[in-house]
Structure 1
């Protein structure tokens, strides 16, 4: 598999507007969980889903900059409104003027889960408008970017539940390697606009009462939902080097699979997780002992953590000089669902770029039932400084339903 460079990054997460703020939050083991902000829903009506990771300013959009009429902007899904400037800034961060990409074969791949805006705006309306129709379409989240930036490459939204944005990265990488596009934007976006999915998690026994994910911790008790928007610019490594582009990190290989008929449509499968990890290693030409750290899916559910650690240990718990470090950004932000994969990828890329891996929040209360040391794994209680030279990291993301 050919090498793909990450040349540009931008993001908006709870308490972190931009890549620098995100890095500061991670390096300081920050906690971005708080109460439901005004304008989302009444927490008194649904006190069981009154906390989570919420980003500021999700109603802000410079419609004039993107030449969107005010009426149309008001009808647009906020996922569209937040992703457009995020992609613009990521392209600028890569050293390219977004205007210069107009007419190019640049591809846009966006991971997104669910369609809360459509349910909130179209349900019960006697006369839905064309603006609401276009504004609530999931596919339009990607198409808005391609349209407003005049990009002519592939443009698609990907929904594989919580693994959506990492699958979007995988598809973007494939398109670059086959020559379908010369530059690709891979992104993920998730906004918690209603309590509905939180109530579903609660009924399934998957919701953390305090709204916090506690990955791999002894007191892990479920998922806390969170907002998240992130985008990376991808180019073939030889092209990036030839143009003198800054390279945050290099993607050496990726893989996607499915659980198939496992022990339940919403339950994860250890064996499928092992297989997808092994496939990614093969495609990258990397042996498990070379992997220094893994940004895991790490939802903080009892079953999910147990299965993921068993799979990671089976693959990475080989003879090696020191255990493989694992962590999950969900301990800081909460679960950003459709944007979870891109949140993890950006964290890993920034860690490689800055040569330091942030400590894992909740690591001081490691779950002994996961047998991490026995499996050749460890949580970082303090930041891990990386040596000079090549360092290999892994990123995992798994969706409810099996992908």
Structure 2
């Protein structure tokens, strides 16, 4: 009996020791498991021509008002009768482009399928393509990869219009399912690009896209995916939804979001799409990705039993911010900047702002700036969170805080006297401090789901790869498209880009162009030592409408490759960029091999080069208009 007790005690002791060991192991690995998430790419289509992150940033720092009247084409869908003079329908944040335009051949749609597919799904696909290019990944290079797609969407106006049509025609189309079901928003993108990570579509109303970014972070942390595309889309297809929202008394009759102001009287609707590309920080650094900023922590919760199902709940917002700030390690001071939900409603703004004020230390010396992108482009609903997220990443990267529009007289319902909050009326320099710049983004759903994310500026480490000092050489720029006319579209966009941008480094420009381009039937390369030479080559080629006259520095096909470039020596697929530093002529073999049909892994080719991804023009879609037939 005594031996049994001794054995039992020994077993319990060993079990407790093992539990302590495992607990310590978990604690030691917590920091590794929940390491920062790198933002390595971004793309957007926002109102009034803010169709790239660069154009969006230009509009933000110059404090442009992106609200405008209903586009002429969409005026035919306007509500008549009693709604004809409604102030809520006069203006909104509309895209400049034709939202029914789509490159159906590129995305492998039949004309009929494109017509029956929600323009929101079509736009989401286009912006995913552009986000991958922005991140430095050719959109056709990730088939079979563990890449996730996390999409936010909330309106099904197109599906409702198709349902109305079916009642008249009694015809059922299979494309109405795949083209309009919310699950196909992420599913179609995963299918088209060949991703094998999670494909998840989220509808939490106005917080959908920021919730999607939070879910993408969790997918990366849990190993569900190695890279993720996350964001949301929202289009104002028909005015019935605006009329419906006006019944909730949340829309401004002035069609402006006067967030935090005494005259705030509601929000204004907007449309657009934003996508960010995410990776674990260690993976992004290992892969040599350009890192715009890092996500330190994220979280979501629900308002629960508030005073109404559509009324924001301050205590829940406060709990969420407190938890996320603690995870990010900023609970003592708070962030330097907060991109607020900030709808501009008389109830919502004071609830949100007073919750923030309650959390911030009153003794903080430097101000906490608060703003909202809704003052520029309206409330993008399912895409609102990602719009604020991209704005904040750009602010961190450019070290500036954009001014907030329509803020003149502080709201009397906000407890300003006990806060360290400032609303910037003009764009400010983001002054450095002893710690990296930090920012937080909030997005609160109409149905109560709240999301909050903390970002931090990315500081390059001392051991990062140094770029080699290159001798004078010709730099290659590869172009590929479905046809020669599509190639010419790429040339036109590239020439325009070169003329608009000063101080371009040819090495980084070449690298950025080459890693981000998908392969198509038509493959061409230009060789230029400088910007002016590149412009001259392309303008000479564009002047030849026959596309047949030889142009020095342009390889249109195998016949243009100099005979001196032989197949002897290293196989083109075995050459790396580092091999070309001492012998630049080797690079010609690589690009000759590519034109002749070799599959080149461009990320591997440039690995270790130290070159940084910079902005280059996106692929130029060849679009046709696909819309519902009106009678």
* 1:56 corresponding residue in structure 2: 96
Greater C-alpha radius of gyration? 2
1:211 aligns with 2:252: no
CA distance in 2, matches of 1:204, 1:179: 41
* 1:400 corresponding residue in structure 2: 446
1:349 aligns with 2:390: no
CA distance in 1, matches of 2:282, 2:36: 8
CA-CA distance at 1:402 after TM superposition: 0.8
- SS of 2:279's partner is strand
CA contact (8 A) 1:122 1:128 kept: no
* 1:113 corresponding residue in structure 2: 154
CA pair 243-208 structure 1, distance change in 2 beyond 3 A: same
Given candidates 196, 203, 209, the residue that maps to 1:165 is: 209
Given candidates 264, 273, 288, the residue that maps to 2:317 is: 273
- SS of 1:345's partner is helix
CA pair 288-363 structure 1, distance change in 2 beyond 3 A: farther
The Cα offsets for residues 110-165 of structure 1, whole Å up to 9 and x where unpaired, read as 11112111111222412131112221111111111111111111001100010000
Given candidates 74, 78, 96, the residue that maps to 1:42 is: 78
CA-CA distance at 1:3 after TM superposition: 0.4
TM-score (norm: length of structure 2): 0.62
Structure 2, unmatched stretches of 5+, are 1-33, 450-631
Larger relative CO (CA 8 A, sep 6+): 1 or 2? Answer: 1
CA distance in 2, matches of 1:367, 1:387: 27
CA-CA distance at 1:288 after TM superposition: 4.8
- SS of 2:171's partner is coil
CA distance in 2, matches of 1:394, 1:23: 18
CA contact (8 A) 1:317 1:323 kept: no
CA contact (8 A) 1:288 1:318 kept: no
CA contact (8 A) 1:43 1:50 kept: no
1:367 aligns with 2:403: no
CA contact (8 A) 1:309 1:370 kept: yes
CA distance in 2, matches of 1:328, 1:380: 10
CA distance in 1, matches of 2:158, 2:332: 42
CA distance in 2, matches of 1:307, 1:268: 7
CA distance in 1, matches of 2:240, 2:201: 22
The Cα offsets for residues 280-333 of structure 1, whole Å up to 9 and x where unpaired, read as 112222225141000000000000001001111111244211221000000000
For this pair of structures, how many residues does the alignment match?
403
1:282 aligns with 2:326: yes
The Cα offsets for residues 77-108 of structure 1, whole Å up to 9 and x where unpaired, read as 00111111111111111111121111111000
CA contact (8 A) 2:62 2:427 kept: no
CA distance in 1, matches of 2:116, 2:55: 30
* 2:402 corresponding residue in structure 1: 358
Structure 1, unmatched stretches of 5+, are none
Q: What RMSD in Å do the two structures reach over aligned CA positions? A: 1.4
* 2:337 corresponding residue in structure 1: 293
Given candidates 48, 61, 66, the residue that maps to 1:32 is: 66
CA pair 155-305 structure 1, distance change in 2 beyond 3 A: same
CA contact (8 A) 1:190 1:336 kept: yes
CA-CA distance at 1:166 after TM superposition: 0.4
239-248 or 342-351, which deviates more: 239-248
CA-CA distance at 1:373 after TM superposition: 4.6
TM-score (norm: length of structure 1): 0.97
- SS of 1:204's partner is coil
CA contact (8 A) 2:357 2:415 kept: no
CA contact (8 A) 2:257 2:268 kept: yes
Q: 1:3-402 counterparts in 2 under 5 A? A: 3-15=36-48, 16-40=50-74, 41-42=77-78, 44-45=80-81, 46=83, 47-48=85-86, 49-57=89-97, 58-125=99-166, 126-388=170-432, 390-402=436-448
- SS of 2:150's partner is strand
CA-CA distance at 1:269 after TM superposition: 0.5
CA pair 324-6 structure 1, distance change in 2 beyond 3 A: same
CA distance in 1, matches of 2:191, 2:177: 17
Stretches (4+) displaced over 4 A: none
CA-CA distance at 1:247 after TM superposition: 0.8
CA distance in 1, matches of 2:219, 2:348: 31
- SS of 1:99's partner is coil
CA-CA distance at 1:399 after TM superposition: 0.4
CA distance in 2, matches of 1:248, 1:364: 32
